[in-house]
Chains A and B, each alone.
Chain A
């Protein structure tokens, strides 16, 4: 546990993603420690999500809490597993300095940051779970915490990706004229933006569907406990229905 907490501190302080290391194509964090951080922090976040059903839907709520504790880290790790080949291909296509192993470590770092932020929002979820009856409110709050942690994780990744391409910009900035130098720097920035956008699109596409098939996380009042609700329809059809109901 101490190792995990030490790793979390180093992670959040940016010691694993130093600008000079990323510029040189180095990511020296230990993959097993990152995995441990993701599993532990994901489990903490999942347990916090599960507090609401545990309080409101006894005795089955405790089963839901246990399931959520397992499912939240799974959600992030399985999404990374499915998307990693595409993420790596787009990264190589943008001439990233990171090789396959380093790309995987960087993505594990971003996942660990995302899950750590989510776990840090856990006490807020727990507080509202204790003091709120409305299931709909808890659903919105849970989705919002996932959204906020995702945005902060993306911000972290965006900064890391721009560090990776800074060195490329510097190298190409040896062009003779000022106009060519500016064009070289702009091209490196564009590539950083491209890789970040592609990663976000592919990850969001798979992540949303992964969350859909791993649901329920919060459980529904009045419904019996199930580990998975089955694979009927998909996230996007569900979201469209929810929008339609919202405006009806």
Chain B
């Protein structure tokens, strides 16, 4: 536990094994941080209404929510880097991406007491959703700091990295929204039965829902 906390501290401060410009790519340690941090926040997010099983489900799903989209997007990211003539920098770019996701997981774990406190103080379901969404936004901001830290050196070396980074961010967000939609519920509506995935998890399309909502608002 102590070693894991020290690892997290090093990553946040970009020191030790996680210092910028190191040749070593500590992917296993980064994955461990994503799993531990995601598990911690997922467990607290899922215990809304005191449902232990939902808490276990959310804890198990959270690391996939943080890093699931990466697995899907890596091939495209590699091709973009190669096309832009940045193949040599790909390991450094991936290190930045994974480090930023581990940072998100650490930030989320650190904010788990905030979620638990609001649940304990009697937050209702819509408030719980809104609060966790807000905490996710704060944690993402933390992840962006680590990503920018890694990319600063890469962009100084070759400005084409800006294009690769933009391509990554657009695709990652696009896929993450769908991953999040599949992995729902995380908080769990207390009036609905506890479930790992929703029955319509693989049929729902958040973008189609968004389109029809916009259509309905504009034509009502």
Contacts and interface: CB of A to CB of B under 8 A. Distances in A.
A205 to B, nearest CB: 7
Contacts of B13: 92-93, 95
A48 B27 CA distance: 56
Contact of B114 (A100, A194, A205, A231): A205
How many A residues touch the partner, as a band? 20 to 34
How many B residues touch the partner, as a band? 20 to 34
Contact of B138 (A201, A212, A234): A201
A90 B114 contact: no
Contacts of A194: 145
B89 interface: no
Interface stretch (A81-89, A152-160, A218-226): A81-89
B138 A202 contact: yes
A83 B113 CA distance: 7
Contact of B107 (A89, A213, A232, A233): A89
Contacts, number: 73
B25 to A, nearest CB: 21
Nearest to A90: B142
B212 interface: no
Nearest to B141: A198
Nearest to B134: A205
Contacts of B145: 93-94, 194
A247 B32 CA distance: 52
Given A93-B146, A237-B127, A212 B110 contact: no
A92 B121 contact: no
Interface of A: 81-83, 85-86, 88-90, 92-95, 100, 194, 198, 201-202, 205-206, 209-210, 212-213, 230-234, 236-237
Interface of B: 9, 12-14, 103, 106-107, 109-114, 117-118, 120-124, 127, 134, 138, 141-142, 145-146
Given A198-B138, A212-B121, 10 more contacts: A82-B117, A86-B138, A198-B141, A202-B138, A205-B114, A213-B122, A230-B122, A231-B121, A233-B124, A234-B122
